[in-house]
Amino acid sequence: MASIILIALTLAVAGILGSWFTSLTKTQTEQVEESTVEQVNCTSALLDIVDVSCVNITPSVWQLKIVIANLGLINLYDFSVSAKVDGDFFYNSTGGPNSTNPLTPGQQTVLVYNCTVCDENDKISSITVTPAVCPAQAKVEKSVSVTCTAS
């Protein structure tokens, strides 16, 4: 009788552990699959900085405009921008195309920011634009020589 109880207990434990192991394996497989699909899609991400300008729109407000182009094969959106302005850094992560209205392949757009560190005759020496989608693959850095000028 004890051997029957031991066999039944062993089968019950095996059933519980088997179900848990199957669920764990399925979850891990789905996570790896999502990551792999994202990595494959990101290999076709390509962003370019086409033009940069810095002009004042009022005596105390300077506007930084960055024309970007999506040269890749996937939609890009939610851009972060960094600009080196006379040794200071300007950062912004708002504006531009978003997930509901992305920058599609082949399109260009203008990212427009009120530059809080810009002033007349300041020199912008580098620009970095990073999309939230595929940030490592589509990030673009460009050395530029742009002077902030009065409009």
Query: Does CATH place domain 47-150 in 3.40.1190.20?
Result: no
Mean pLDDT of the 5-10 span: 72
Which of the four pLDDT bands, split at 50, 70 and 90, describes residue 31? low
Greater confidence (12 vs 50) lies with: 50
Checking if the pLDDT of 55 tops 80, the result is yes
Give me the long-range contacts of 99-107 (CB less than 8 A, separation at least 24): 101/77, 102/75, 102/76, 102/77, 102/133, 103/68, 103/70, 103/75, 103/76, 103/77, 103/131, 104/70, 104/75, 105/70, 105/71, 105/72, 105/73, 105/74, 105/75, 106/70, 106/71, 107/69, 107/70
Of the candidate ranges 10-14, 81-85, 106-110, the one whose mean pLDDT is the lowest: 10-14
| Structural contact between residues 110 and 149, judged by C-beta atoms closer than 8 angstroms | no
Higher pLDDT, 70 or 37: 70
Please state the rounded mean pLDDT for residues 51-61.
Answer: 92
Q: What are the residue ranges spanned by the domains of the chain?
A: 1-42, 47-150
